[in-house]
């Protein structure tokens, strides 16, 4: 994992406008999901990969626990996991991974070009780590969870050290209800 705050050296306001944008991917059940699909609800978006040994599962667990803590407010928020490892994270792989986390998770993959495009839109860094083995590789990637509003606009983000309690509190404040 690479530091989560590299891009926030600019003004918060100026950066906010740069996060997000159009994408087309496919979810864990094979359904096409675009930026338009996510509109109408808040979304909590994290980029990672299912083979990640620790950081990604921890982050998705934090998101799951935060949603569990906010009761009915969670109905207004869609948690989204977008892979940065489309080679290994097939629809079937995501379907199995989905069982470990909040049931409302939308888990997305696509072609390498589609993943590259969505990562660029969200200013997410990722790179295959140098390794001897060709199949058992790790990915370096930024570990940031974005809260986007129902129009797909950036609201705030959480770093990899976020706690379920802290995330739940911020979501309640922003989403209300």
Sites of contact with Ni ion (CB under 5 A): 48, 52, 55-56
**CB of residue 149 vs Ni ion: minimum separation in angstroms?**
26
DSSP codes of every residue in 15-75? HHTTS----EEEETTS-EEEHHHHTTSEEEEEEE-TT-SSHHHHHHHHHHHHHHHTGGGGG
**CB of residue 48 vs Ni ion: minimum separation in angstroms?**
4
Q: What's the CA gap between 16 and 10, in Å, rounded?
A: 10
Whichever of 56 and 115 has its CB closer to Ni ion, that residue is 56
Whichever of 70 and 108 has its CB closer to Ni ion, that residue is 108
Whichever of 60 and 70 has its CB closer to Ni ion, that residue is 60
**CB of residue 75 vs Ni ion: minimum separation in angstroms?**
28
């Amino acid at each position: 994992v690479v530091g989560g705050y590299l891009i926030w050296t600019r003004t918060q306001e100026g950066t906010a406008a740069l996060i997000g944008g159009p994408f087309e991917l496919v979810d864990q059940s094979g359904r096409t999901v675009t930026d338009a699909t996510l509109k109408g609800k808040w979304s909590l978006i994290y980029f990672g990969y299912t083979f990640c040994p620790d950081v990604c599962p921890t982050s998705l667990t934090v998101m799951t626990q935060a949603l569990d803590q906010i009761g009915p407010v969670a109905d207004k928020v869609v948690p989204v996991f977008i892979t940065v490892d489309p080679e290994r994270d097939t629809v079937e792989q995501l379907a199995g991974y989905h069982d470990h986390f909040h049931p409302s998770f939308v888990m997305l993959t696509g072609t390498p070009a589609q993943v590259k495009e969505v990562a660029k839109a969200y200013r997410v860094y990722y790179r295959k780590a140098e390794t001897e083995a060709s199949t058992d590789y790790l990915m370096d990637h930024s570990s940031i969870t974005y809260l986007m509003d129902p129009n797909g606009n950036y609201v705030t983000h959480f770093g990899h050290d976020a706690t379920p309690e802290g995330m739940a509190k911020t979501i309640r404040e922003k989403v209300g209800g």
